[in-house]
Chains A and B, each alone.
Chain A
Amino acid sequence: AQTIHQWPVAEIKAVGSPLSLGCTIKGKSSPNLYWYWQATGGTLQQLFYSITVGQVESVVQLNLSASRPKDDQFILSTEKLLLSHSGFYLCAWSQQNSGNTLYFGEGSRLIVV
């Protein structure tokens, strides 16, 4: 069975500090990977997706970047956090040619102060 793990579970960071959120998928080779951002109680905004190692497509520019250094890993990062980056970050995977059926991780909660 496939498992998806996100880290850290939660962080409190200062404005202007760097950030790195991670996501690892086990039990699935060559998945499509996604990052979503959710404001408190809000809708989900797709940030990035990746269909293969080293290839990342940006959907929305929020002063964030993403990388896929390995087939099973997806990293979200920024060098300087803004207050607006606060929220819930969700990583998801889908099987290729599955119509984009997403399977989500448990999320990482970020509070920027």
Chain B
Amino acid sequence: AQSVTQPDARVTVSEGASLQLRCKYSYSGTPYLFWYVQYPRQGLQLLLKYYSGDPVVQGVNGFEAEFIKSNSSFHLRKASVHWSDSAVYFCAVSAGSNNRIFFGDGTQLVVKP
């Protein structure tokens, strides 16, 4: 069965600092992996996705993620955060073929000015 673990419920960083949000998944095959962002009282927006190819994928607003198969991880990174990046970030995994998409519990990012 598929599952996603985001070990950090809340991450606080200073504006301009680098960021890493952790995500580990469980799936025996080749997964589709996603990062979404949710701003208060809004739906989720896709940041980036990975299925194959270059394990480092670029997303919107300077975000990137790296797929490390040996570690079953798909961590999200950003070189320099802005206060507007404050939001909840969700990692998700899908097998691609069965219309089931599993989300982690989310990580709330707080960017201090």
Contact = CB atoms under 8 A, between A and B. Distances in A.
Interface of A: 32, 34, 42-44, 46, 49, 51, 57, 59, 90, 92, 99-107, 109
Contact of A99 (B32, B90, B103): B32
Nearest to A6: B43
Chain B residues touching A, majority SS: strand
A109 B40 CA distance: 12
Interface of B: 32, 34, 36, 41-46, 49, 51, 90, 92, 94, 96, 99-106
A102 B46 contact: yes
B41 A109 contact: yes
Nearest to A107: B43
B99 A32 contact: yes
B78 to A, nearest CB: 21
A92 B36 CA distance: 13
Contacts of B32: 99-101
Given A100-B32, A104-B36, 19 more contacts: A32-B99, A34-B101, A42-B105, A43-B90, A43-B104, A43-B105, A44-B90, A46-B101, A49-B99, A51-B99, A92-B44, A99-B51, A100-B94, A100-B96, A101-B46, A101-B49, A102-B36, A102-B44, A107-B42
Given A43-B104, A44-B103, A46-B101, A104 B43 contact: yes
B81 to A, nearest CB: 21
A42 to B, nearest CB: 7
B84 to A, nearest CB: 18
A42 B90 CA distance: 10
Contacts of A42: 105-106
Contact of B99 (A44, A57, A90, A107): A57
A76 to B, nearest CB: 15
